[in-house]
Amino acid sequence: MSTVKVAVFVGSLRRDSWNRKLAKAVEKLMPAEFQFEYVRIDDLPLFSQDLEADYPPAARRLKKDVEAADALLFVTPEYNRSMPGVLKNAIDLASRPWGTNSFAGKPGGVMGASIGAVGTALAQQHLRNSLVFVDVLVLAQPEVFIQVKDGLFDADGNIGNDDTRKFLQKFVERYAAWVERFVPAKQTSR
């Protein structure tokens, strides 16, 4: 059974991020052959086309991390009805310079958590627009908008609510099948 490397982008830099917790909880639900690798985005310079003449080391590392992955997973909060600037900046850096888009053709998924009643619906829509433009093959359904409430995560970082865990397990199954459609050499025996 081959390993499927998933580059995980968490759009929140907060130490106690709900979205990082969500990513970690989903990681526990994934099939064993899926290996999550969390992409560092907190040290990236702000994108400017001026950087393209000599890309900074952190931006080159980001591009290598994306290129080494078989698949992508974006887990985003919602800031002012959109995705966080740090996540958009990472997408801009990894997709540039022109002709060196590190995302091109990779399968991806999107999810997010927020205290708001509609979760991260608007942030995810903006994020999906950018991802489609940079040629990420984004899983359309199911959409995962998690409202953070007491008991969402248990003391061990697992999903504490049975209905939410079952819903996320269905997402995991669809995401794994989606990735396997585009990574045929790494098909699993499921």
Rounded to whole angstroms, the Cα distance separating 80 from 116 reads 12
How high is the pLDDT of residue 57? 98
* In the block, residue with structure tokens 């994934």: 30
The pLDDT value recorded for residue 113 is: 96
- Which residue bears the tokens 């990574």? 183
Partners of residue 153 on adjacent β-strands:
159
Spatial CA neighbour of 84 closest among 73, 74, 72: 74
Residue 4, CA atoms < 13 Å, CB-side half-sphere: 30
Output the pLDDT for position 117: 83
What pairs with residue 109 in β-bridges? Answer: 73
Tokens of 99: 């002709």
Tens of pLDDT along the chain (190 residues)? 489 999 999 999 999 999 999 999 999 999 999 999 999 999 999 999 999 999 999 999 999 999 999 999 999 999 999 999 999 999 999 999 999 999 999 999 999 999 988 889 999 999 999 999 999 999 999 999 999 999 999 999 999 999 999 999 999 999 999 999 999 755 545 5
pLDDT for position 119 = 83
Question: pLDDT value at position 131?
Answer: 98
Domains present along the chain, CATH in parentheses = 4-186 (3.40.50.360)
- pLDDT at residue 112 in the model: 97
- For the whole model, what pTM was predicted? 0.95
pLDDT of residue 45: 98
